[in-house]
Structures are given as C-alpha cells and as structure tokens.
Amino acid sequence: MAGTANSLNPESQAAAHAARQTELRKRSSGRLMIFGFLSPTLAILLFMVAYPIFSLIYYSFFNFSALRQATMKPVGFNNYKFLLSDPDLWERFIFTGKFVFICVTLQMLIGIFVGYQMQKNFRGRDVIFTLLMMPMMLSPVVVGFLWRYMLNSEWGVINFLVSSAGFAKVDWLGQTNPALWAAAAADTWMWTPFIVLLATAAFRGIPETIYEAAEVDGASPAYRFFRITLPMSAPVLFIALILRLIDSFKQYDLFVALTGGGPGSSTETVSFSVAKTAFSYFYTGEASALAVILLVIIIGLSMILVRHLTKMGEKY
Amino acid sequence: MSMRMRLMASAAALAAALAATAGSARATDLTFVWHAGTCADALTTIAKDYPDKSVRIVPALVPYGPQWHDKIASEFAIQGDAFDFAMWDSQSTAEFAQHAVKLNEIFDKSSYLKADIFPAASLSRYGEYPDGSGEFFGLPANQDAYGLTYRKDLFEDPKEKEAFKAKYGRDLVVPQTYQDAKQVAEFFTRPDKGLYGWGQMGGRDYDFATTASNSFLWSFGGELYNPQTMEVKGYLDSPASVDGVQAYVDMFKFGPPGSTNWGFDEVNTAIQQGQVAMAMQWFYFNGSNVDPKVSKFADKIGFAVLPGAIGRDKKFRRQFSVGGQGMGINKYSKKLPELTKFMEWYFQPEQQKRYAAVCQTGLKAVLDSPDWQGLNSYNRQFSTALQYLNDYWHLPEYPVLLDELQQEISNAATGAKTVQQALSDAAEKNERTLERAGYEIKRGDKAPEVPDQVISPVGVDAVVPVE
C-alpha cells in the first residue's frame, strides 16, 4: 500500500492530503457539535447525579450530622462496620426481602392473568381497563392511609367483611405477620395494574397469525399460552419484573402512612431506615453509608437482571 | 365613553393594581411551622387582628408526627429561613437550641416580653436548655398535659354504681390509681355491647406509645435514665419501670381490639363515639371532644387528672407526660425585630385569653385570672394537672432515644416481647446511642429497685385524691 501511495504524483498527494484534512476537520467539527449538544445534558447529569452520589460516598466516611455540623469528623469505614454488624439492619433486609418476594410474585401472577384476559375483545373492556388502572394513579401515601382505615380492626371495612363471613376480626396492623401481609396487599392493589398494563400491551403485540397457525395445528389454549404468549412477551414482562423489583425494594412512603414501621420495627424497610436515620436522627454520615449499601445492592440486582434481559432479547 | 376616557380609566386601573401589588410586596410575612389543628388555627385567627397590617402571620402546617419534627430540623440543617418561628415539642429544645434565638437577649431588650410573665416551671419546661441553666430557647406558647376523659353518664348511672359496688365492694368513682382504673376498666368492658373500659395510644408512630407508657412508668416509680450518671440500664428496666409498663400493657385488655396500634385520632374517635368509658388523652383535644358537631357524647364527657399508682415501695406517685409546645425563633430569620414586636403583642393577656378559650396558654396573667378556669369545662382539671408533669430526656439525641423506646414499647404492647425483655433491649440501645454521642456512663454499684427515689420527688404514704 505504501508503494501505491508513493506512486502518486505530488499533485495527487496534495489533493489527497487536502481531502484528508477536510475529512478530519469535518469529523472534528462533528465531534464538537455532538459535544456541544451533549454538554448541557452532561452538565445537568453531573450536577444532579454524579455530585450527589460522590457527596453520599464522601459523607459516608464521616461521623457527621447535618443538624449538628460542628461534630463532623472522619471515621473511615466505621459507619459501614457499625451498620453491617447491627442485627436490626439485617432484620430490615430480611423484612424487605420478604416484602419484595411476596409483592412481586403476587403482582406478576395476578397481573399476567388479568392482562391475558384484558387482551381479549369483549364488551366494556375499555371501561374495565380504565378502572383497573386507577389505583396506580394514586400516591403511595394516600394508598397507605386508605388501607390503614380499611384495615382498622374495629371499624375498618375489611374486618367488617371478615366478621360478616363468620370469622374472628384480625388485628391487621398490630401484629407482625398480618402487618406484612396487609402491606403486601396494599402494594399489590396499587401496582398490579402496572403489570396488567405492560402485559396487555405485550400480549396484544403478538401477531394473530401465530395463534391461527397454532390453532390449525391443534394447540390447546394452555399450550398456546405457555408456548407462544409467555415466551413472546417475556422481554416486556421481564422489564416489568425489574421495575417492580427495584421499586418494591425501595418502598418507603406506603409504610410511613400504613404502619409507621410498626409494630415494633417489624415493618421497617431498608429505605425506611435510611430516611429515618437521615431526617429524624440526622445521623447524616451513617445514613449516607446505608444509602451507599442500598445503592450497591440495587445496582447489582439491576445489572444481573439487565444482563439476563439482554440474553433473552437475543433469544427471541 | 371616548377612547381617551377609556385609556385614562385603564391607566388608572393599572396604576391601582400596581399600587396594590406593591403594597402587598412591602408586607412582611412571618411564617411559622406547627402541626395542623385547633391551636394553630387559633393563633392564625388571633394574628389577623394584629394592628400592624404590614405584617402577616403565615402558617406552614404539617401533620402531627415525625413530619413536623423533620420539617423544622431540615430547615435548621440547611440554616434556612423558610420559617421565622416554630412551635416544637418541649423535648426538642435540646436538639434545636443551637439553631434558635436565645430568648434571654429578647427578655433583656423588651419592655414587656420578660421571663416573669410566664410561670417559671412552664418557661423552664418549654424552653430551658440545658436544664437549670437559665438559658431559654422557647416560650410556653401552648401548654398541654395528659389527662383522663370519662363518660359521666356511665359513672353517674345509679344502676352502674350499684352493680360496681356489688362486684368490687367499693364505690364507682373516677379512679385515683391505675390499680383502681384497672378494675373500673374491667367493669365497663362489654365487647358484645361495643363498650370498652379504657382507651390509650399504643401506636408505633412518633411518640404515641411512649407518652402513654411513660405516664405509667413514672407513676410506679420508674425512670427513663439517671441524668447524673447517664445510666439507662438499671433505670429504664428497673423493677418499678417494668411494673409501670406492665400496667400500661395490661390496660389494652380493656380497650377495643387493635388499640395497640392507636394514635390520638383513634382515641378521639373512641371518645367521641362513646366507645370507651375512660381514655387517656391530651387536654389539647378536649375542645373537639366537647364540640357537639363532632362528638356524639359532647355533653356526657367528664375530665379528670390522670391516676397515679402505688409502687412496689408502697408509695403513691402521680406523674405523667407533658405535652404542648414552646415557641422558638429561627436564628437564621432576618425578621427578628418584626417578630419581637409581634410576640410582644401576641403574649398580651387580651390575645392569650382568646387563645385560652380553645387551647392552653402559658401566660401567667391569664392562668392566674379567676375567670380562666371557667372558660371551658376542662381548664380546672388542667390547672391541677400542671403540677404532675414529667418529660423525656432533654438531650439532643432525643429523636434517636425516642425511636428506640417506641420500638420496644410497641414490641411489649403487641406481645412480641415481654415487658422485661423490651425494656432491657431499649436500655441497651439507649446506652449505645448515648455512648456513640460521646456521653460517659458512670456505672453505679447497683441501681435502686424504685429509681424515682433518687431523681424525682419521692412518693407519699397515702393516695392523694384530686377532685
């Protein structure tokens, strides 16, 4: 190739050089333009995301209270050591894990079932669909208070129904296990519509011809559901699963209104502990360390799930 | 109308609008933070009559509970001036003092606003930090105490009196001890008729459970800690403290199912619906409990001072939680002169008398006036209750200590732990918090069985009835 270049006459070489220069200029001006367009977004992202995260990590190494600033002193990894050796925090993780598992399982199962029904055409479908979406539009605090009243053991509607059916009234929010199930019920009531929404969209996106072909081949409805509907909508359902896992894991506001973390501290999620440590105790350093731990867990979980999603995308 | 006239009229209207806007822009807004309710509304209503119309009092109200504390604390944390003054709990003074104006400076400069216009005990309770230092960061704007409400119609019913005497061999009267209260509560507990003997808070939120349980704990001779040695172990879990909290937990047997999760709203509802024969409730709420618009039993509710208890040392004590709030000034506010003038006006007897008609003033001139006790049906009892008040830790670590105690009292109330276990765990956590905050715990040889003999006035040999 070098011989080819050398064989060109000087004029051609100059022309080629000029063309290269023009190309480089174009490229560099293109890069500049791209950078120009991106820089406001990058600046906002740096300010809104990177700065708080770095501050969070920085403060996590200090014994520091935003309310009592004179007390700021470096403590190395002591905040992390204290938190990870605190049995109360492990209880919060266990509770959060149970809550996430129950909620996400219920929401996915009910959501997929209802979504499958909602993809069919029937009279009044749009009205029912709109009504189904309503809980999702409420604020979690409102949902918390709403369920708190409904679950009141004396005058709540749920115990009214329970006692009307001949069963003993349940102290839903005053006992550890019923409180977990009550919170899971409230969260499921609120967020199952989200799964229904995505599942319906995914199911309706599957070409009708595939079902027709399956029907011609004599496939049963169950076969069609498990071999066609579910696999073909898996990427969307998986995204729904990821979003619900992350969202349930950081659930806070529902518990503030519904149980206040009680009885005892049995319904305190990890996010609840972060908020309490940061804004009630004002142990800013310790809360930062706890938030970093939570962040690492959520990022780790998301990475595993996203990798799985990518593989799934390649498969389907 | 000609075009010229129309233009002139439009210009005049525009000028008037601009002048009005400029006028309102000149107005000074004094913003205060408090929890929403009758007393915040009363302050706002009274402030509308403030003669200086260039000053407006703007409420920034939040629900009662952690949000209220957190709103004040968050603003202090950023050293902001989004509010100029705030009403905070007596026990929060220690936490907020470094962000509040020291009122001694105002007392020195003002011709009216002096420490002696308030009862010394009230000023100390709602504003002094550290205890006994003579430095004040809050004025007793809204005093409160735990009290007893009861159904007069039941207590005065001859049939009930007769039945009670037949069962217990003594007269049915408003109880003076928790031991008596337990019997009366048991007598009135009739779930088949929707009637229960006792209502009290047990909820996990904020200070719901512990304001109630502390009232029992102190009356039985227990203590939260020893402020001299900073010991919690041996005090919070002392035999007397366990007796007190056990008595509190036992009272849930005579309350409606689920009352271990109750806050003040549920207690009020139970009182207003006549569901409970007796209830522990703040005097703060009595205005609504005797309001026929919201309370079915408005004319049947009686008020009394909370019972005391005969402790294991056979002494009688009566102590219960102080409520209410002090009024503190945000030291980052840029409107201190206007605020001082407003306070000089607001704490005049004329304004405080209006306030006292619905809430509990801390102004001595009103409290000492002969007509104050007759302003409503509960002031007489409230004036007596003021003698028996006790409070949480006056330490900056209050929110952490409170949350730890709330958690364990809630565990005891719901049966997740025994009272002894819950108090021992709370003591362990409280000491860890104090040590982490840098306090030195000087461990004594042995904590007394009834620690109140060391710290608070000792009990007396006989029950002292309060009429």
- Give pLDDT tens digits for A106-165: 999 999 999 999 998 899 999 999 999 999 999 999 999 999 999 988 889 999 999 999
Alpha-carbon Rg for chain B in angstroms: 25
Region of residue A20 (phi > 0: left; psi between -120 and 50: alpha; otherwise: beta): alpha
CB contact under 8 Å between B73 and A279, yes or no, is: yes
- Shortest alpha-carbon distance between residue A264 and chain B (Å): 4
Query: What Å distances lie between residue A316 and A201, A211, A220, A304, CA to CA?
Result: 17, 17, 22, 19
Which of B261, B264, B398, B403 should we substitute to test contact with A (largest number of A Cβ atoms within 10 Å)? B261
Residues A130 and A180 in one domain: yes
Reading chain B (467 residues) residue by residue, the pLDDT tens digits are 555 656 556 666 665 555 555 445 568 999 999 999 889 999 999 999 999 999 999 999 998 888 899 999 999 999 999 999 999 999 899 999 999 999 999 999 999 999 999 999 999 999 999 999 999 999 999 999 999 999 999 999 999 999 999 999 999 999 999 999 999 999 999 999 999 999 999 999 889 999 999 999 999 999 999 999 999 999 999 999 999 999 999 999 999 988 999 999 999 999 999 999 999 999 999 988 999 999 999 999 999 999 999 999 999 999 999 999 999 999 999 999 999 999 999 999 999 999 998 899 999 999 999 889 888 889 999 999 999 999 999 999 999 999 999 999 999 999 999 999 999 999 999 999 999 999 999 998 888 999 998 777 789 999 999 87
Chain A: residue nearest B408 by CA? A264
Determine the pLDDT at residue B64.
86
- Look at residues B430, B399, B405 and name the one whose alpha carbon lies nearest to residue B72: B399
B89 touches A at CB < 8 Å: no
- Shortest alpha-carbon distance between residue A152 and chain B (Å): 7
Tokens of B255: 């309350």
Which positions 235-264 of B are in contact with A (Cβ < 8 Å)? 256-258, 260-261
Q: Which residues pair with B32 in a beta bridge?
A: B59, B85
Query: At what angle are helices B38-47 and B336-346 packed, to 10 degrees?
Result: 100
Q: Which residues in A lie closer than 8 A to residue B206 (C-beta atoms)?
A: 260
Tell me the CA end-to-end span of chain B in Å, nearest whole number: 78
**CATH code reported for the domain at B28-144+322-387:** 3.40.190.10
What is the sign, positive or negative, of the torsion defined by CA atoms of B381, B386, B390, B395?
A: positive
Which phi and psi angles does B226 have, rounded to 5°?
Answer: -105, 105
Provide the 10 A C-beta neighbour count for residue A113.
14
CA B296 – CA B299 distance, rounded (Å):
8
Q: Tell me if A218 is assigned to some domain.
A: yes
Residues A11 and A118 in one domain: no
SS3 of B289, please?
helix
Residues A36 and A121 in one domain: no
Determine the pLDDT at residue A68.
83
CB contact under 8 Å between B70 and A279, yes or no, is: yes
CB contact under 8 Å between A169 and B76, yes or no, is: no
Q: Which residues in A lie closer than 8 A to residue B94 (C-beta atoms)?
A: none
Tokens of B110: 């003002």
- Look at residues B131, B88, B317, B361 and name the one whose alpha carbon lies nearest to residue B215: B317
Asked if residues A275 and A260 have their Cβ atoms less than 8 Å apart, the reply is no
Tokens of A170: 């349940």
CB contact under 8 Å between B257 and A169, yes or no, is: yes
Asked if residues B261 and B270 have their Cβ atoms less than 8 Å apart, the reply is no
Q: Which residues in A lie closer than 8 A to residue B98 (C-beta atoms)?
A: 68
* List of residues 6+ apart from A132 with CB closer than 8 A: A114, A118, A193, A196
Chain A: residue nearest B433 by CA? A281
Determine the pLDDT at residue B467.
76
Residues A171 and A271 in one domain: yes
CB contact under 8 Å between B400 and A265, yes or no, is: no
- Give pLDDT tens digits for A157-208: 999 999 999 998 899 998 899 999 999 999 999 999 999 999 999 999 999 9
Residues A156 and A303 in one domain: yes
* List of residues 6+ apart from B425 with CB closer than 8 A: B408, B411, B417
CA B454 – CA B237 distance, rounded (Å):
15
Determine the pLDDT at residue A5.
47
Q: Which residues in B lie closer than 8 A to residue A155 (C-beta atoms)?
A: 269
Q: Tell me if A109 is assigned to some domain.
A: yes
Residues A165 and A118 in one domain: yes
- Shortest alpha-carbon distance between residue B386 and chain A (Å): 29
Residues A137 and A30 in one domain: no
Q: Which residues in A lie closer than 8 A to residue B258 (C-beta atoms)?
A: 152-154, 169, 171-174
Per-residue confidence at A25, pLDDT binned at 50, 70, 90? confident
Q: Is the pLDDT of residue A2 over 60?
A: no
Task: Indicate the residue type of A72.
Answer: M
Which phi and psi angles does B301 have, rounded to 5°?
Answer: -95, 130
Q: Tell me if A66 is assigned to some domain.
A: no
- The full set of domain ranges for chain B reads 28-144+322-387, 145-320+395-455
Residues A53 and A176 in one domain: no
| Chain A residues whose C-beta sits inside 8 Å of any chain B C-beta | 66-68, 152-155, 169, 171-176, 259-266, 276, 279-283
Place of tokens 């104090």: B434
Of A67, A172, A283, the CB nearest to B76: A67
- Burial of residue A179 (CB within 10 Å: 0-12, 13-18, 19+) is buried
CB contact under 8 Å between B258 and A171, yes or no, is: yes
Cis ω before B349 (30° cut-off from 0): no
Class of domain B145-320+395-455: alpha beta
CB contact under 8 Å between A264 and B414, yes or no, is: yes
CB contact under 8 Å between B403 and A280, yes or no, is: yes
Which of A268, A279, A283, A288 should we substitute to test contact with B (largest number of B Cβ atoms within 10 Å)? A279
Q: Tell me if A255 is assigned to some domain.
A: yes
Asked if residues A109 and A191 have their Cβ atoms less than 8 Å apart, the reply is no
Query: What Å distances lie between residue B369 and A174, A302, B382, B383, CA to CA?
Result: 45, 68, 14, 12
What is the sign, positive or negative, of the torsion defined by CA atoms of A95, A98, A102, A108?
A: positive
B73 touches A at CB < 8 Å: yes
Tokens of B61: 């109200």
Q: Tell me if A111 is assigned to some domain.
A: yes
Longest alpha-carbon distance in chain B: 99
**Kind and range of the H or E run holding B309:** strand B309-310
Query: At what angle are helices B208-219 and B239-251 packed, to 10 degrees?
Result: 130
Place of tokens 């060109």: A8
Residues A109 and A242 in one domain: yes
Region of residue A175 (phi > 0: left; psi between -120 and 50: alpha; otherwise: beta): beta
CA B143 – CA B360 distance, rounded (Å):
5
Of B73, B205, B411, the CB nearest to A264: B411
B399 touches A at CB < 8 Å: yes
- Shortest alpha-carbon distance between residue A278 and chain B (Å): 10
Assign 3-class secondary structure to chain A. CHHHHHHCCHHHHHHHHHHHHHHHHHHHHHHHHHHHHHHHHHHHHHHHHHHHHHHHHHHCCEECCCCCHHHCEECCCHHHHHHHCCHHHHHHHHHHHHHHHHHHHHHHHHHHHHHHHHCCCCCCHHHHHHHHHHHHHCCHHHHHHHHHHHCCCCCCHHHHHHHHCCCCCCCCCCCHHHHHHHHHHHHHHHHHHHHHHHHHHHHHCCCHHHHHHHHHCCCCHHHHHHHHHHHHHHHHHHHHHHHHHHHHHCCCHHHHHHCCCCCCCCCCCHHHHHHHHHHCCCCHHHHHHHHHHHHHHHHHHHHHHHHHHHHHHHHC
Determine the pLDDT at residue B18.
52
* List of residues 6+ apart from A29 with CB closer than 8 A: none
**Kind and range of the H or E run holding B7:** helix B3-26
Q: Where are the beta strands (DSSP E) in B357-398?
A: 389-390
CB contact under 8 Å between A279 and B407, yes or no, is: no
Residues A184 and A119 in one domain: yes
Of A68, A171, A262, the CB nearest to B257: A171
CATH number of A88's domain: 1.10.3720.10
Count of A-B CB contacts under 8 Å: 87
CB contact under 8 Å between A264 and B256, yes or no, is: no
Alpha-carbon Rg for chain A in angstroms: 28
Q: Tell me if A77 is assigned to some domain.
A: no
Number of structural domains chain A divides into: 2
- Boundary of a domain, candidates A59, A75, A91: A59
- Boundary of a domain, candidates A59, A74, A93: A59
Query: What Å distances lie between residue B9 and B5, B20, B22, B128, CA to CA?
Result: 6, 16, 20, 60
Determine the pLDDT at residue A24.
84
- Give pLDDT tens digits for A66-85: 888 777 899 999 999 999 99
- Shortest alpha-carbon distance between residue A71 and chain B (Å): 10
Q: Range of A218's domain?
A: 83-315
CA B435 – CA B310 distance, rounded (Å):
34
